[in-house]
Chains A and B, each alone.
Chain A
Amino acid sequence: MMLRGYRSGDARLLSGPWTAGELLGLPVNGRPALVEDAAVEPPRDAAVELCIAPGVAFVRFSELDWTARRARLEIGIQPQAIDAVAMLLKTAVAHGFHVLNLHRLYGWVTPAADPPLAVLGDAGFQREASVPAGNWLDGAAVQRQIWGAVRRG
C-alpha cells in the first residue's frame, strides 16, 4: 500500500460516514440519514500534511510541531476498504516516522464508537490518557482516549 500527497482530484476521499477527528475513522453503522458525513479540509498551510491511499482513505498529520517532532494522526477509510485498516495504519505510522522523520504520533479514540483497539496495539500505539467527556457522541458527552506511538531508534 502506498501513500501519496493529496491532490484536488482526491476530494471525495476527504469525507465519509465517520466519527470526526478520530485516529481510526471507520464507517459507523446505523447512523440516522440526517447526519452529515464527517469531512476534513484540504490543507491550507504547512501545519498539516495530507496524504491519501489512492481510492481507499486519507491519512492526515495535523497539529504538526516540527520542534517537538510530533503530529496528530487521523485516518478516514472509505466503506468499501475497511479490511485494509491494519495495513493502512502501519503504512501511516511508517510515513510519519520515516518520511516525515517524526518522533511521536498520537490520536484521539472514542471507545463508544467501538473502534478495533487491537489494530492500534499492533501498529505500535499505546493508550496514554482517558479523558472523561472528551467527545460528543449520540447525544451525550463520552470518554475519549489519547493513543500514542513513540519512535524508538
Chain B
Amino acid sequence: MVETTLTDATLTDTTLTNAASASAVESTCTDIRRLDPAAAAAHLRAAAEAGRGFLGLDPVTQNDALLAAELARMQAQVFRAGDMLLGSVPNPDQPRQAFIAATSADPEPLRILLGFLDTRQRCNSFVAMVPDGAACAAAFASCGFRQVGVLRDHRYQSGAYQDVIVYHAESGFFASADSEVPCSA
C-alpha cells in the first residue's frame, strides 16, 4: 500500500492558515494524500457506511480486491484527508469534467480537491452522484453544487432499492471567499 502526498506544494496547512477564510483556519484538514488502489480499498472498508456508493462502489458487497480492480479500471484518483476520503474519475467523453465522491460532510478538503483538479488537471466541471440521504451531500452543497437530477432505484442496499442524487458544479463556484490555490512558481 502506497500513500504519497500531493506534490503541489500549495496544498499544506500553511496555505490554509494564510487564507483569509475563517472556516479554513478552523478546518481539521491539514494534509491531503493520494492513495493507490489497494490503499484506497482498505480505507473505503474502514469508512464503513460512509463508503457505500463512493464512486459507485460498495465495500459491503465488494471485497478489497474487487474494489481496487474497479478503481484502477475507472482510472480513479482517491485521496485521504484525515479520516475523509475523496475521489475523482475523469469523464471519458468530456475531458474537462470529472465525477467526484466524498465520505464526509466536511467541505474544506473537497474545496481543496476541486481547486487542485481545476488548477492542475484542467477540470472546470464537476459531477457528484450521491446516495439519497448520504451525509456527504452537505459537503457538495457547501461547495456550490446544485442538484440536477435523481436516478431512481439506482442502488440496492439494506433490502431495498435506493435513489442516487446527481449534483453539478463549475469552477469558480466552489472557491471560498478570499482563498485561492496559488500556483507554485
Chain B residues in 8 Å Cβ range of A148: 151-152, 154
> By DSSP majority rule, is chain A's interface helix, strand, loop, or mixed?
strand
CB of A133 closer than 8 Å to a CB of B: yes
- Interface 0/1 of B95-134, CB less than 8 Å to A: 1110000000000000000000000000011010000000
- Interface 0/1 of B136-170, CB less than 8 Å to A: 00000000000011111111100001000010101
- Evaluate contact between A103 and B161: CB separation under 8 angstroms: yes
B73 (CB) vs chain A CBs: closest residue: A47
Q: A132-B168, A134-B127, A141-B97 are in contact. Are A67 and B150 (CB under 8 A)?
A: no
Of B97, B154, B156, B166, the contact of A133 (CB 8 Å cutoff)? B97
- Evaluate contact between B148 and A67: CB separation under 8 angstroms: no
- Interface 0/1 of A81-125, CB less than 8 Å to B: 000000000000000000000011010100000000000000000
CB of B7 closer than 8 Å to a CB of A: no
A47 (CB) vs chain B CBs: closest residue: B73
**Within the complex, what minimum Cβ distance (angstroms) separates A69 from chain B?**
7
**Within the complex, what minimum Cβ distance (angstroms) separates B56 from chain A?**
8
Q: What's the tally of chain B residues with a CB closer than 8 Å to chain A?
A: 25
Of B95, B125, B155, the contact of A132 (CB 8 Å cutoff)? B125
Chain A residues in 8 Å Cβ range of B95: 136
- Evaluate contact between B149 and A128: CB separation under 8 angstroms: yes
Within 8 A of B (CB), among A48-78: 65, 67-70
**Within the complex, what minimum Cβ distance (angstroms) separates A68 from chain B?**
5
Residues of B participating in the A interface, judged by any CB pair closer than 8 Å: 56, 58, 61, 91, 93-97, 124-125, 127, 148-156, 161, 166, 168, 170
In the bound assembly, the distance between CA atoms of A15 and B163 in angstroms comes to: 33
In the bound assembly, the distance between CA atoms of A80 and B127 in angstroms comes to: 37
- Interface 0/1 of A1-26, CB less than 8 Å to B: 00000000000000000001100000
Residues of A participating in the B interface, judged by any CB pair closer than 8 Å: 20-21, 65, 67-70, 103-104, 106, 108, 126, 128-136, 141, 144, 146, 148, 150
- Evaluate contact between A68 and B149: CB separation under 8 angstroms: no
- Evaluate contact between A129 and B153: CB separation under 8 angstroms: no
26 pairs of residues in contact across A and B, judged by CB atoms under 8 Å? A68-B155, A69-B156, A70-B154, A103-B153, A103-B161, A104-B152, A104-B161, A106-B151, A108-B93, A126-B152, A128-B151, A128-B152, A129-B148, A129-B150, A129-B151, A129-B166, A131-B148, A132-B148, A132-B170, A133-B96, A133-B97, A134-B93, A141-B94, A144-B94, A146-B151, A148-B151
